A and B are shown apart, each in its own frame.
Chain A
């Protein structure tokens, strides 16, 4: 919870914290960092998102919780342009809904989809370089050092194809590749899926560091509610395509009755 307190100090006006307040934003003036309004999306005739309203302030780390089929993955996919939607998604005032995924990515939104973040035949180093392909060449070496400092395990495998790594290493590579792009908004879909608890903690430690030190805004879909509530500053609970509950992570602890109704049994 120290993460939350520290950020509160950094933003005495409570801007990024005020999750329930639609006026919350990236600063005293100007549009909010991310404003989602009336977002509807689905696959063919099947509607999955039924009007999402959400404001995320710059520098927040938001966890999205909820049962399977609630639309968590679809929410991320709609934000990154992988799924078409209706409504509005504005990043610092710029409408990004309807843009192709590559154009959204070029605006600083990096999406790490579940279990599919790496280029298997390419080496670890090449994967990292792909992540930085939009950046100036002179920055790449330094970024690579920074990412390898976050994930020292990758250092030994730089020349190996990504497909030969273990699941946990691949997930770290996927996040590392995303960080190479110096994103403003990082979207992560169940990064802990299939990972050992120790590896998961390591991953979330890095996410917290990236969030705190580099100021990257993070939206993470997570099945492990306890973990998400520990690391995120704010949690959203999705249910059948809507946001059912939102609040500061501390107030939404897994011990609460209201939380357990949505989050299922404690882990």
Chain B
């Protein structure tokens, strides 16, 4: 029984990571209308930044804010240098650009850090130190950090002037420009925020998946499924979907014999297909936010 509970907690923590990356996808989509297939690779890059800092002897909780700052700046840079050039292009153009970015970042990371698998330190203390209890605690830690990130996003968007300006840009970029809002900068900030949220997901999942350039490939699939469930706009549904997917994947992998470790990744794909097959209206009537 306590084994089942542990599985659920672990599923939730994995799901929190999926939810984090899914939120990054939703952020980018709401700001710029783009599905950023490179979101996972940007998170991977952030994780390497964190690893480099840790390797240089920085304590984890000091390295995390530095990593976040670098990631936000990096996300803004990507928007400025790459995305702004293709803004307003067709949907296929944008897909091609972000997939190209995915491949480029992946290859570049392999070139710099090699494709060797590295271990990444677990930031959460093994408080009780014996067996399964440790993974239980680190799972709760992951959940806690993701919850803090979501709360911070909520406060930013709902209770600050900058958040109000961002929501105005999302609601109507043309009117926003007429109100004197520098929309280009706000869109860049949206990409930066998304990269920051993705970085948290990457750093949290690295101790579980190990650090290597392809580590986020699977996570991106789950995150995309969660974002699709949230219709790429509703953060609450997206987060719930991410958590649910994490639990479903963990439980299916453990308790459904034929799924096992190999077929786990099929779970989100089935979810995506199921959502797309639902009557169209269900997706269209998703609430505004």
Residues of A within 8 A of B (CB): 80, 82, 100-102, 105-106, 110-113, 116-122, 126, 129-131, 133-134, 137, 177, 181
Contact = CB atoms under 8 A, between A and B. Distances in A.
B93 interface: no
B55 to A, nearest CB: 43
B164 A130 contact: yes
B174 A129 contact: no
12 contacts: A82-B174, A82-B178, A102-B180, A102-B181, A102-B183, A105-B180, A113-B175, A116-B174, A117-B175, A119-B175, A126-B168, A129-B164
Given A121-B288, A121-B289, A133 B181 contact: yes
Contacts of B172: 116, 119-120
A211 B168 CA distance: 28
A212 B174 CA distance: 30
Contacts of A110: 178-179
Residue from A116, A121, A126 whose CB has the most chain B CB atoms within 10 Å: A121
A72 B122 CA distance: 65
Contact of A122 (B161, B167, B183): B167
Contacts of A134: 180
B179 A121 contact: no
A119 B183 contact: no
B275 interface: no
A130 B174 contact: no
Interface residues of B, number: 19
Contacts of A102: 176-183
Given A102-B179, A181-B179, 8 more contacts: A80-B178, A105-B179, A111-B178, A113-B175, A126-B167, A133-B161, A133-B165, A133-B181
Contacts of B175: 113, 116-119
Contacts of B165: 130, 133
Residue of B167, B180, B183, B288 with highest tally of chain A CB at under 10 A: B180
B148 interface: no
Interface string B147-165: 0000000000000010011
A133 B183 CA distance: 13
B133 interface: no
B177 A101 contact: yes
A177 B168 contact: no
Nearest to A118: B175
Contact of A101 (B164, B171, B178, B289): B178
A11 B264 CA distance: 80
B134 to A, nearest CB: 45
B167 to A, nearest CB: 6
B180 A106 contact: yes
Given A116-B175, A133-B161, A122 B168 contact: yes
A108 to B, nearest CB: 9
Interface in B160-212: 161, 164-165, 167-168, 171-172, 174-183
Most interface-central of B165, B168, B179 (chain A CB within 10 A): B179
